[in-house]
Chains A and B, each alone.
Chain A
């Protein structure tokens, strides 16, 4: 049995999410599914960022403030994730808007139809 460190397992999950997202973007022929795949890809990257925050010493009860720096999870990448979530949401909103318009024109969500080069 492979015993895996919590952090490594977390990075593994993130990697799998990224690969699933990439698969969806390149191999699925539906614009909405592509956008969902992009969301999964983004979640994978966000999970990577979050996994960096992990600090080995997780106390059950609150430590006193003197040793806080030793016990606390690292805060930097948590803040970066908050920023990245908003960035992703904005990009996806624009893409959804354009897909609504192209759907109105072609009445289908297939990328091979609506994104065809003329």
Chain B
């Protein structure tokens, strides 16, 4: 490497870093719009109120980021490539024996098997509660969805492909799309009823939209949509990053299309 170039990079890095630290310490916070958020009550969980009501459109954007990331992961591992010769050269199906996949990671001891199944079931339950109670308690769609995905991953690691908790990837793909579409459609319902996209309507034709002591409107439904989507996306991402068999099958499939 060029020593002069190194020196220049180091110096500019030091100056930039020192400036960042110095100026960050000077910040005096102006609460601004926060005061309005705190004075206007929507649901008991104020962070959820911002995520799904005041700034619900950001959350839609966030869902889309996750969906795009999963789509691109599929592309990276061979879905719909214009030219798959590079990937085909790297990922070859083994000629003898089986794939080195999760199935063949070797058996764990009984302790792990006996512990991980109840723990996964517990995590799924906790996830569902977190999603459904997102408007009252800390938590919400993202956290709950991530919990369920974590239980899926845990059970895959412990049991391999014979995992008792198993989603097929076409199913996950559909679930993901369904979650995002549900969010978009609920937003459009708000547009029809209130005139604005993602308008939080509490009643429709005189009926409570979400029956219960707390009139949360569409927030619980948005939470459920996001939960489904996050659970599907995270599971797919982990699935892709760890399972070679899926990738090889995908490449073989794209071979048929390209011919």
Contact = CB atoms under 8 A, between A and B. Distances in A.
Q: Do chains A and B touch in the complex (CB under 8 A)?
A: yes
Interface of A: 7-8, 11-12, 14-16, 18-19, 22-23, 26-27, 48, 52, 54-55, 68-69, 72, 74-76, 78-80, 82-83, 86-87, 89-91, 93-94, 96-98, 100-101, 104-105
B62 A87 contact: yes
Contacts of B66: 86, 89-90
Contact of B50 (A15, A19, A69, A75): A75
Q: At the interface, is chain B mostly helix, strand, loop or mixed?
A: helix
Contact of A90 (B21, B39, B68): B68
Nearest to B14: A19
B166 interface: no
Given A76-B50, A101-B76, A94 B69 contact: yes
Given A90-B65, A94-B73, A100 B241 contact: yes
A98 to B, nearest CB: 6
B91 A83 contact: no
Interface in B37-52: 37-39, 46-47, 49-51
Contacts of B49: 75
A75 B38 contact: yes
A16 B66 CA distance: 29
